[in-house]
Amino acid sequence: MIISLIAALTKNQVIGKNNDLPWHLPDDMKYFMQTTRSHHVIMGRKNYQSIPEKFRPLPNRTNIVVTRQQGFSAPGCIVVHSIEQGLEVARNNNETEVFIIGGSEIYRAGFAYAEKLYLTEIDTTLEGDTYFPSFNKQQWRELSRRHHPADDRHAHAFDFVVYGRIN
């Protein structure tokens, strides 16, 4: 099973602000939906709660929520208490590629296991309160990069980049 992290981040590593995305990039949302469709996705409780209720659980995916809160309920999701338990659920369900989808703490915990990174690198610096963890790019090889210019629907240019861990 391939273990992947997927995130959109600015040049200053911002991934969120006030429990929301500080940008509106419809094509990035479409990319996320297409990339993770039919897979297990692992997210933290705060990330789960930041998803608008009408989109919870994320459709066409097995949603796994990691929380330390005993008795936490997330209808339609599998609730676990560690990233390792979430990975075990995916493994036991014969998942081919599991996606860790945030937030910060879950990304930090997931880096130890990640083999691939799907990063939407947004060509801007924004204010935020949630950040993607710093990582050593020397340990990763760029596998693909696709540029998306700013346009009437996207205020910022961005690149869809896939990295593979160098063993």
For the chain, give the number of residues. 167
Per-residue model confidence as pLDDT tens digits over 146-158: 999 999 999 999 9
Question: What mean pLDDT is predicted for residues 36-63?
Answer: 96
Residue 157 sits at the vertex; the CA angle it makes with 155 and 161, to the nearest 5 degrees, is: 140
Strands 62-66 and 2-10, bridge-based pairing: unpaired
Note whether 7 and 120 are within 8 A (CB). yes
Per-residue model confidence as pLDDT tens digits over 97-120: 999 999 999 999 999 999 999 999
Residues 154, 27: Cα–Cα separation, whole Å: 8
Note whether 14 and 22 are within 8 A (CB). yes
Q: pLDDT band at residue 128, thresholds of 50, 70 and 90?
A: very high
Residue recorded with tokens 């981040």: 9
Q: How remote is the C-alpha of 8 from its chain's centroid? A: 8
Residue recorded with tokens 């980049």: 161
Q: Does the 2-165 domain belong in CATH 3.40.430.10?
A: yes
Strand partners, 65: 43, 79
Residues 24, 154: Cα–Cα separation, whole Å: 7
Note whether 8 and 122 are within 8 A (CB). yes
Residue recorded with tokens 């469709």: 37
Asked whether residue 167 carries a pLDDT value surpassing 90, the answer given is: no
Residue recorded with tokens 């961005």: 158
